[in-house]
Amino acid sequence: MKEALAHRTAAAEAAGAAAAAADTQAGCPALKSDSRLTPFTILTGGSRSAATVALLSDHSPDSKMIKNGHHHHHQVNTAAGKDAGTIPGTAACSPEKRRRRIRVWCDGCYDMVHYGHSNQLRQAKAMGDYLIVGVHTDSEIAKHKGPPVFTQAERYKMVRAIKWVDEVVEGAPYVTTLQTLDKYNCDFCVHGDDITLTVDGKDTYEEVKKSGRYRECKRTQGVSTTDLVGRMLLMTKAHHSNIDSSDYQQHTDNFGKKGHSPWTGVSQFLQTSQKIIQFASGQEPQPGDTIIYVAGAFDLFHIGHVDFLEAVHKLAEKPYIIVGLHFDQEVNRYKGKNYPIMNVHERTLSVLACRYVSEVVIGAPFAVTKDLLDHFKVDLVCHGKTEIYPDKDGSDPYAEPRREGILRTVDSVNSLTTDAIVQRIIKNRLLFEARNQKKEANEIAVIQAMKRQEEEKTKERAQAVL
């Protein structure tokens, strides 16, 4: 097997080299290939040992999706309609020498952005080359669904921070039309395998579906805004390790389970190594990089976290940011109540989706030790303006980086915290429950209509046979 793999790898490399040479000879610059190894790190707090899991990306059916490379080399183009189908540096190449880039459109509310949204955008990007995301205004969302949790400015910035997004269109129309796709030179739009309805119950993608410019991607099981709101209101720890507890299930029933809508209901998220690999960048630190370590819960990954990581990213010309995520039990020790709202597996994907993050340490030790700093060759340790909680024994978890003179306090000029988001939800609890019940009722009506339509078609086919 090893010989076969080596032979296949050598053949692939030879073919790639030949293709690059042919491109160069034809006057077209060769495209830089992605890294073939896709690592992530799990650091066990007890032994302080690190294990790297890697996969040859050409063995993965989703290998195309891991293409962002090193984050500080990636620039976001926010000018509408720019880069209309050409690869930078290849303008002189004819269509025969270099294929046109496929431009993909996605749109949505992107309220309370979570890894389910990120996974949808990851899948959409894999269907093409350049991803444009339209985000609706507060007034449009209020009209069709009810008031959003986050403001439009917060939502625009959150979507821009997702590493698969190339361009954001602010104030995109709620109903997706051919006119919108044409305006931004998009070949087709992509949406999850659920349904989005207008205030009068119409499919917002009806026009593009009829024209054949619609693609579908799989919805991420086990996460939804509905589910997260349910966890916040319930105030138990069931989601940390066992989502099947009776009290949790009883409460989440109010958010969609009883209505039997497969789109709004709550289901269980199961973490896999493949899912982490799909989200990871696969880029090792390069010579000249400044390795920066930050640690915390990063719960309900939000705009406050994004602003902090962006500020950290600006501290160096070539930053390589490693985020250490604490285990659920550790977070609950210093945060209390039912925190974290998202378990460590969910928080891992949320952080990995951020364009400013290069690597994630899953289950990082609470104290930033010399072993950890030496292992990752850390140049700088950063912390925000929020309170630094003491370790179990009352000691300062940042004592070692302080001693080495590499601890930096970073002011992101954004005071938003996970606590503040939870308070927004609790304050508008009845409003959110009513919104979700209305949304689900519309979805069930559509499902029933589709079922009746299918039954009628079946009857017609049966009669035709007779």
* Ordered domains of the chain (ranges, CATH): 225-268+428-457 (no CATH), 283-419 (3.40.50.620)
Neighbour count for residue 368 (Cβ, 10 Å) = 25
pLDDT confidence of residue 133: 99
425 pLDDT band, cuts 50/70/90, is: confident
Q: Per residue in 59-105, pLDDT tens?
A: 333 322 222 343 444 444 444 444 444 333 334 444 544 578 999 99
Decide the pairing of beta strands 50-53 and 40-43.
antiparallel
pLDDT confidence of residue 436: 63
Q: Per residue in 207-223, pLDDT tens?
A: 999 999 999 998 888 78
What gap in Å lies between CA 395 and CA 47, rounded to an integer?
Answer: 20
**38-52, 147-161, 330-344: lowest mean pLDDT where?**
38-52
**Cis preceding linkage at 319, omega within 30:** no
Give me 337's structure tokens.
């109540």
Contacts of 196 (CB under 8 A, 6+ apart): 108, 203, 204, 205
Q: Which SS3 state, helix, strand or coil, does residue 293 take?
A: strand
Q: What is the percentage of the chain residues whose pLDDT exceeds 90?
A: 49
What rounded mean pLDDT belongs to the chain? 76
Give me 383's structure tokens.
């912390």
Q: Per residue in 157-181, pLDDT tens?
A: 999 999 999 999 999 999 999 999 9
The amino acid present at 109, given as its one-letter code, is: C
**CB-CB contact of 407 with 383 (8 Å):** yes
Contacts of 49 (CB under 8 A, 6+ apart): 43
pLDDT confidence of residue 282: 78
Decide the pairing of beta strands 290-296 and 380-383.
parallel
pLDDT exceeds 70 at position 444: no
pLDDT exceeds 70 at position 454: yes
* Cα of 358 vs its chain's centroid, Å: 14
423 vs 461: which has the higher pLDDT = 423
428 pLDDT band, cuts 50/70/90, is: confident
pLDDT confidence of residue 229: 83
Give the residue among 265, 264, 235 at the shortest CA–CA distance from 248. 235
Distances in Å between the alpha carbon of 316 and those of 41, 207, 263, 292, 307?
Answer: 23, 47, 43, 9, 16
Q: What is the percentage of the chain residues whose pLDDT exceeds 70?
A: 65
141 vs 459: which has the higher pLDDT = 141
pLDDT exceeds 50 at position 37: no
**CB-CB contact of 267 with 222 (8 Å):** yes
427 pLDDT band, cuts 50/70/90, is: confident
455 pLDDT band, cuts 50/70/90, is: confident
**CB-CB contact of 225 with 146 (8 Å):** no
pLDDT confidence of residue 311: 98
Mean pLDDT of the 44-48 span? 34
Q: Per residue in 259-318, pLDDT tens?
A: 444 434 444 546 677 888 889 977 899 999 999 999 999 999 999 999 999 999 999 999
150 pLDDT band, cuts 50/70/90, is: very high
pLDDT exceeds 60 at position 244: no
